């Protein structure tokens, strides 16, 4: 009764704050053009007295009498930016200077990979955190309840990053916004989470996964939150490889000594565990009945899973099809990056509703991406079915910032166009003018699978400028595939690319591009690649993304060591 009462209390509280934010969104959806104008004026007023605001005539832009004049002055005085344009100003903030891009200093930085060797430090201001992250999180959790009313009646496995990963020269923390959001949530909400934040400070990646699933497996879980669908696969792999050890730990109330966990973290976790023979016996019975036990077996009341589903992520989501109970709703995580939480998925599916009352958005047609001076579209001008590059302006010092992402407009939420992420623009590779899109490569592999009957667990392609060819890496479901068969499969991919992309065909037929080279990867190569990338600082766990077609020698070097 006590647990049910607490669950009802949590649901009531989330419902109360969530409905308030939903009401605000619905009001904004009635006239997104007006909301975008109000948002831009709000950001300009917030930052007009900063060095950046003064240098870019924010006061003059604000004096515009009409929305048309406002947008025109904005585009006249503020050129499009990428991170390297902003890096010198962010570096000033990092070194303790105030009022450069925004008033005062940031409350923290989020770090993510950049186009150069130096990572991007994304400033998060208190204004942005309170106006966007905090309010959107309340509505986000409420969307779960809109589709599954009892989703929070049991525990939630939520994957977050470390609150503190390092410090700027002036002492400001850099870390995970998701970690900070979880840290700052009300105490009664913290009881939802299956694992304490201490687990995410375990430095050894496999040890962290073990602790997370040893803790989660003991409990009744009804929801799972992680941006990366690959995490679902890795955590199930951890269960597959360590089930006996986990059952033993659950029965004895212990945490295996086989894994390297800092003493202070182990001490915190050990206080949470008590001998639980009943649950251990349940798990043994499930193993006896099913052999391999999956979430649908050990979490039978599971209701809600949210991960990325758009772009190339179906390569991973397909792998855990059938893992969860039939009643599970798998909702897209939404268009979300370190730089910007653009909006939320409201329909339980894959379409993100951008929030015009939280950010100012601009777009360039994908057809015009190579033009030196393309036309910029407002949010209300987008057309359903068309693709665009997205630029954002936020309360955290990003002005007309190129997200380097291609999105597609999928529908409407009131007057707000809904969007889906398609691919990173750097998912387009062109060595000799062939302009191969990542999605074209994915389609070519899919066709080859259909034509040959060979199925892949994972695949990736790399451009080799020196050799003027592509390297195709395949992890086949059938581990007995020979190099000869793999070469034949790769030839099919090559042929399909020629059919899909006329420029690729022209470059191949003219020998400007040579035939691709084929490599057979070890089993579970993707998981090993992810671990090595995180250990080498090429990516952060919570933000781990992998384009399936790249021109990136650092990442290519890792895959060279993952072949049979």
Residue 359 lies in a domain: yes
Question: Are residue 392 and residue 449 in the same domain, yes or no?
Answer: no
Q: Dump pLDDT digits (tens) for 359-378.
A: 999 999 998 887 889 999 99
Domain count, the chain: 2
Which class for 368: exposed (0-12), middle (13-18), buried (19 or more C-beta within 10 A)?
middle
Q: Is residue 337 part of a domain?
A: no
Q: With contact defined as beta carbons under 8 Å apart, do 259 and 207 qualify?
A: yes
Q: In terms of domains, do 383 and 439 share one?
A: no
- Looking from the CA of 64 toward its CB, the CA atoms found within 13 Å total 22
Residue 517 parent element (H or E)? strand 517-520
Does position 323 have pLDDT exceeding 90, yes or no? yes
List Cα–Cα distances, 86 to 74, 75, 369, 490, in angstroms. Answer: 17, 17, 21, 42
Sorting pLDDT into bands at 50, 70 and 90, what band is 451? Answer: very high
Read off the pLDDT band of 117 (50, 70, 90).
very low
Output the pLDDT for position 466: 82
Residue 234 lies in a domain: no
Q: Retrieve residue 158's tokens.
A: 């939520």
- pLDDT per residue as tens digits for the range 138-163: 999 999 999 999 999 999 999 988 88
Q: Are 372 and 441 in a shared domain?
A: no
530 and 452 inside one domain: yes
pLDDT at 120: 85
Residue 330: strand pairing partners: 305
Residue 129 has pLDDT above 80, yes or no: yes
Tell me, yes or no, whether 481 and 412 share the same domain: no
The answer to whether the CB of 230 falls within 8 A of the CB of 526 is yes
From 315, 347, 360, select the one nearest 45 (Cα to Cα): 360
CA dist 313 and 192 (Å) reads 27
If one counts every other C-beta atom within 10 angstroms of the C-beta of residue 450, the result is: 12
pLDDT exceeds 90 at position 100: yes
Instruction: Give the residue from 369, 400, 425 where a domain finishes.
Output: 425
Q: Map residue 85 onto helix, strand or coil.
A: helix
pLDDT tens per residue, range 502-528: 888 878 886 778 999 999 998 878 777
Verify that 519 and 545 share a domain, yes or no: yes
* Same domain assignment for residues 419 and 435: no
Joined together, the tokens standing for residue 477 give 């479901």
Mean pLDDT for 293-298 is: 98
Higher pLDDT pick, 73 / 432: 73
Residue 277's CB: how many other CB atoms inside 10 A? 11
Inter-axis angle of helices 229-252 and 525-535, nearest 10? 90
Give the residue, 205 or 3, on which the prediction is more confident. Answer: 205
The closest alpha carbon to 235, from 162, 324, 150, 313, belongs to 324
Letter string b/e over residues 427-439, b meaning 16 or more CB atoms within 10 A of that residue's CB:
bbbebbebebbbb
Decide if 154 is inside a domain: no
Residue 349's Cβ-count burial label (10 Å; 0-12, 13-18, 19+) is middle
Q: Is the pLDDT of residue 4 over 70?
A: no
CA separation for the pair 29, 412 (Å, rounded): 9
Structure tokens at 505: 């065909």
Indicate whether 526 and 406 sit together in one domain: no
* Cβ neighbours for 39, distance < 8 A, ≥ 6 positions apart: 356, 357, 358, 359, 360
Q: Is 281 part of any domain?
A: no
Residue 321 lies in a domain: no
Domain boundary among 425, 453, 477: 425
- What DSSP state is assigned to residue 146? H
- Going 175 to 309 to 414 to 148, the CA torsion angle's sign is negative
Of 351, 345, 331, whose CA–CA distance to 151 is shortest?
331
537 in a structural domain: yes
- pLDDT attached to residue 536: 65
- Which residue range forms the structural domain that includes residue 364? 351-425
Answer for the pair 405, 370: CB distance below 8 angstroms, yes or no.
Answer: no
What pLDDT does 468 receive?
Answer: 84
Confidence of residue 178 (pLDDT cuts 50, 70, 90): confident
Mean pLDDT of 545-552: 80
Residue 143 CA to residue 137 CA, distance in Å, equals 10
Task: Select the more confidently predicted residue: 216 or 551.
Answer: 216
Residues 531 and 439 reside in one and the same domain: yes
Residue 66 tokens, joined: 């009409």
Residue 92 lies in a domain: no
In the predicted model, what is the mean pLDDT of the chain?
A: 90
Whether residues 504 and 399 fall in one domain: no
Q: What pLDDT score does 502 carry?
A: 82
Tokens of 379: 């949010």
532 and 414 share a domain?
no
The predicted structure's pLDDT at residue 541: 56
Q: Of 512, 517, 499, give the one whose Cα is nearest residue 440.
A: 499
Q: Is the pLDDT of residue 540 over 60?
A: no
Query: Pick from 320, 323, 276, 284: which is nearest to 300 by CA?
Result: 323
Query: Is there a single domain that holds both residue 387 and residue 506?
Result: no
Three-state secondary structure call for residue 19: helix
Phi and psi of 101, rounded to 5°? -95, -25
How large is the average pLDDT for residues 115-123? 73
pTM of the model: 0.81
Domain boundary among 384, 401, 425: 425
pLDDT digits (tens, 9 = 90+) for 388-439: 999 999 999 999 999 988 999 999 999 999 999 887 786 678 777 788 888 8
């Amino acid at each position: 009764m006590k647990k049910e009462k607490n669950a009802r209390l949590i649901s009531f509280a989330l419902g109360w704050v969530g409905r308030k934010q939903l009401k605000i969104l619905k009001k904004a959806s009635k006239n997104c053009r007006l909301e975008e104008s109000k948002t831009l004026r709000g950001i300009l007023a917030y930052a007009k007295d900063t060095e950046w605001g003064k240098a870019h005539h924010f006061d003059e832009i604000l004096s515009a009498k009409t929305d048309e004049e406002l947008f025109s002055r904005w585009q006249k005085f503020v050129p499009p930016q990428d991170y390297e344009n902003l890096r010198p100003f962010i570096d000033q903030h990092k070194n303790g200077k105030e009022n450069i891009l925004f008033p005062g200093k940031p409350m923290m930085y989020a770090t993510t990979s950049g186009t150069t060797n130096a990572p991007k430090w994304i400033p998060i201001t208190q204004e942005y955190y309170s106006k966007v992250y905090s309010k959107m999180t309340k509505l986000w959790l409420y969307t779960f309840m809109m589709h599954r009313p009892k989703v929070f009646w049991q525990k939630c496995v939520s994957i977050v990053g470390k609150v503190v990963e390092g410090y700027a020269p002036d002492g400001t923390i850099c870390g995970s916004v998701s970690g900070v959001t979880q840290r700052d949530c009300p105490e009664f909400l913290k009881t939802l989470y299956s694992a304490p934040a201490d687990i995410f400070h375990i430095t050894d990646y496999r040890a962290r996964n073990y602790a997370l699933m040893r803790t989660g497996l003991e409990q009744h879980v009804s929801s799972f939150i992680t941006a990366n669908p690959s995490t679902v696969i890795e955590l199930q792999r951890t269960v597959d490889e360590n089930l006996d050890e986990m059952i033993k730990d659950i029965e004895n109330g212990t945490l295996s000594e086989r894994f390297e966990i800092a003493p202070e973290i182990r001490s915190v976790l050990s206080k949470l565990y008590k001998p639980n023979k009943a649950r251990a016996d349940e798990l043994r019975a499930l193993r006896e009945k099913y052999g391999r036990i999956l979430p649908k077996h050990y979490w039978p009341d599971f209701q809600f899973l949210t991960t990325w589903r758009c772009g190339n992520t179906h390569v991973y989501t397909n792998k855990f099809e059938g893992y969860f109970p039939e009643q599970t709703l798998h909702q897209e995580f939404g268009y979300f990056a370190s730089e910007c939480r653009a909006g939320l998925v409201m329909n339980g599916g894959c379409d993100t509703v951008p929030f015009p009352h939280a950010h100012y958005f601009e777009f360039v047609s994908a057809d015009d991406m190579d033009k030196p001076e393309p036309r910029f579209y407002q949010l209300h001008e987008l057309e359903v079915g068309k693709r665009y590059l997205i630029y954002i302006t936020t309360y955290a010092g990003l002005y007309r910032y190129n997200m380097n992402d291609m999105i597609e407009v999928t529908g409407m939420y009131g007057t707000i166009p809904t969007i889906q992420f398609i691919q990173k623009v750097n998912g387009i590779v062109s060595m000799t003018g062939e302009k191969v899109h990542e999605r074209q490569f994915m389609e070519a592999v899919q066709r080859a699978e259909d034509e040959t009957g060979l199925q892949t667990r994972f695949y990736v392609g790399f451009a080799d400028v020196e050799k003027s060819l592509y390297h195709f890496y395949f992890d086949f479901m059938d581990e007995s595939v020979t190099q000869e068969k793999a070469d034949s499969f790769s030839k099919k991919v090559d042929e399909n690319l020629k059919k899909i992309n006329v420029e690729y065909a022209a470059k191949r037929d003219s020998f400007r591009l040579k035939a691709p080279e084929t490599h057979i990867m070890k089993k579970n190569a993707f998981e090993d690649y992810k671990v090595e990338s995180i250990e080498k600082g090429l990516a952060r766990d919570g933000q781990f993304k992998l384009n399936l077609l790249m021109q990136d020698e650092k990442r290519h070097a890792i895959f060279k060591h993952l072949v049979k």
